[in-house]
Structure 1
């Protein structure tokens, strides 16, 4: 495989490498482009930078000798970092290809769980038939149940007096009442309006005659 094709595979990765200090080394994390499950390469130490880091830690005791040695090693580590990182990266790609598959249709790299090896396609491009059947059945069940529930709601809705005006906020403590006759927070009695039996005009409770058409209410 050429370098160009190898680096195409590197689109779905995170570089966890560290170039300096006693924990310097190379590590890469790849992820499935379908389910996002991640796989991480084994950490490979970068010995040159680690040696420099250990000498720097001991520099407080032998400042002159160890300090100069640390500077030299640090310079060598920095000079060799990029080529060492490229080598480690290529090894990581080769190792990662044992865990990921390239879909021949969408060209995404996916894990074994998301890949149909017989067809050479990921399950986004070639969904599993049994999964698709089960999902469609569940979707149809939800849709049908929603339609039945909607019809049931319509039948229940006709039982409500939608002309009745209600106070939804208590004028005394400003709590939400949800149309209750008394405030659930302070017990304040809500002013529930009534409808004229003749012309449906909204009237205050206790009104004997409609203020719009004069019809007796009691």
Structure 2
């Protein structure tokens, strides 16, 4: 017989205690792929009857309404009292049904569907992977690894002609526009590539300086 505790981690209770849809239903899912299976809806007669009587008694406007409320409350009390026991029994019936749709792996103890079960080994596909699937996956991973390595080598060759020692300004000091290393600002045309030379002494003027640090000439 199926053990109720086995399915508590991969099941969801969809039951309702009251109303027209009062009843029991449980959803179980494969712990490998996530596919679900439902047990099928079972009516909870007391819960549905309680909802009907409460609606009928609230609509009544004569002296019999008190009797109606009493009957509704009585049925409601019976529904409350019997809910947990009825729900547990329905869950056990659902587990019995689910037991034929899922397999419990002897190694990892997870429940999996038929598609995730290796019948010849008695283990789930995580514990006993399909050999051909693993081969194809390893082949694809090797191709990706080789392609990345080839791309890195090609990129290294392309980078050989790039100046990586000269410092470039990435923001124009005049209008604060991003220059992306350009020699002139694309927004205001200000020269941003390389250090400016003083018109008086030809000394380098640091970027952003208003005067030459050597002779004081305005930049």
TM, length-normalised to structure 1: 0.82
Contact 1:12–1:33 (8 Å) recurs in 2: yes
For 1:9, the equivalent position in structure 2 comes to 7
For 1:196, the equivalent position in structure 2 comes to none
How much is the aligned-residue C-alpha RMSD, in angstroms?
2.2
SS in 2 for 1:29: strand
For 1:150, the equivalent position in structure 2 comes to 152
Q: What displacement does 1:170 show? A: 3.3
Ranges in structure 2 where 5+ consecutive residues have no aligned partner: 205-219
- What CA distance in whole angstroms lies between the structure 2 residues aligned with 1:26 and 1:174? 66
1:42/1:154 Cα in 2 relative to 1: closer, same or farther (>3 Å)? same
Alignment of 1:100-139 (within 5 A): 100-139=102-141
SS in 2 for 1:158: helix
- What CA distance in whole angstroms lies between the structure 2 residues aligned with 1:92 and 1:59? 35
After superposition, what is the alpha-carbon deviation per residue over 1:65-102, rounded to whole angstroms, capped at 9, x for unaligned? 32111100000111111111111001110111121111
Contact 2:22–2:43 (8 Å) recurs in 1: yes
| Residue 204 (structure 1) aligned to one of 169, 192, 196 | 196
92-101 or 16-25, larger mean C-alpha shift: 16-25
Q: What displacement does 1:210 show? A: 7.4
Alignment of 1:188-199 (within 5 A): 188-193=189-194
1:175/1:109 Cα in 2 relative to 1: closer, same or farther (>3 Å)? farther
Q: What displacement does 1:152 show? A: 1.2
After superposition, what is the alpha-carbon deviation per residue over 1:31-72, rounded to whole angstroms, capped at 9, x for unaligned? 111112222221112110110101112222223232111100
After superposition, what is the alpha-carbon deviation per residue over 1:157-215, rounded to whole angstroms, capped at 9, x for unaligned? 1210112222212345534332234445x35434101xxxxxxxxx437999676xxxx
For 1:94, the equivalent position in structure 2 comes to 96
- What CA distance in whole angstroms lies between the structure 2 residues aligned with 1:24 and 1:74? 12
- What CA distance in whole angstroms lies between the structure 2 residues aligned with 1:48 and 1:165? 81
After superposition, what is the alpha-carbon deviation per residue over 1:130-162, rounded to whole angstroms, capped at 9, x for unaligned? 110110001000111111111111111121011
For 2:213, the equivalent position in structure 1 comes to none
Ranges in structure 1 where 5+ consecutive residues have no aligned partner: 194-202, 212-218
How many residue pairs were aligned? 199
